[in-house]
């Protein structure tokens, strides 16, 4: 399968713990995006990378959240000192660059985070 891969698919943790998610994009895609989706809502933009550079961050990305894409390939999203409100599906997407006009974002199936 050459689509976007996210691991783990599910993560259950206690409040206050740190969690890290991984995203492997489609290999030739240089853009990588992170979104958060809660039940009944559409995804909300968190951040995106072009190659290894983090070019944009949403105000939703508090100081407890950090994302990296060290070699311009896979990316990790870490949440420190998790809170109940962090419970959500975390989606990763990748695309080619060259303007947004006709470049679809290909999504992974997400990591569902549940905070106890």
Binding interface with other proteins (CB under 8 A): 4, 31, 33, 40-45, 47-48, 50, 55-56, 58, 91, 93, 100-110
* Alpha-carbon gap, residue 110 to 10, rounded angstroms: 8
- Judged by beta carbon, residue 15 or residue 25, the one nearer other proteins is 25
- Judged by beta carbon, residue 91 or residue 115, the one nearer other proteins is 91
- Judged by beta carbon, residue 42 or residue 70, the one nearer other proteins is 42
- Judged by beta carbon, residue 4 or residue 115, the one nearer other proteins is 4
Q: Tell me how far, at minimum, the Cβ of 55 lies from other proteins, in Å.
A: 6
* Alpha-carbon gap, residue 31 to 12, rounded angstroms: 28
Q: Tell me how far, at minimum, the Cβ of 51 lies from other proteins, in Å.
A: 13
Q: Tell me how far, at minimum, the Cβ of 24 lies from other proteins, in Å.
A: 13
Q: Rounded to 5 degrees, what angle do the CA atoms 45, 3, 114 make? A: 50
User: CA torsion angle for 14, 56, 6, 72 (degrees, to 10)?
Assistant: -130
* Alpha-carbon gap, residue 89 to 74, rounded angstroms: 19
């Amino acid at each position: 399968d050459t689509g976007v891969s996210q691991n783990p698919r599910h993560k259950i943790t206690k409040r206050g713990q740190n969690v890290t998610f991984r995203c492997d994009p489609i290999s030739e895609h240089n853009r990588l995006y992170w979104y958060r989706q809660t039940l009944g809502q559409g995804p909300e933009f968190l951040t995106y990378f072009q190659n290894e550079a983090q070019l944009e961050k949403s105000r939703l990305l508090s100081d407890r959240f950090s994302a990296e894409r060290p070699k311009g390939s896979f990316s990790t999203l870490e949440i420190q000192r998790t809170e109940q409100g962090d419970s959500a599906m975390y989606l990763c997407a990748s695309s080619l660059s060259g303007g947004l006009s006709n470049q679809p974002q290909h999504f992974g199936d997400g990591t569902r985070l549940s905070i106890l």
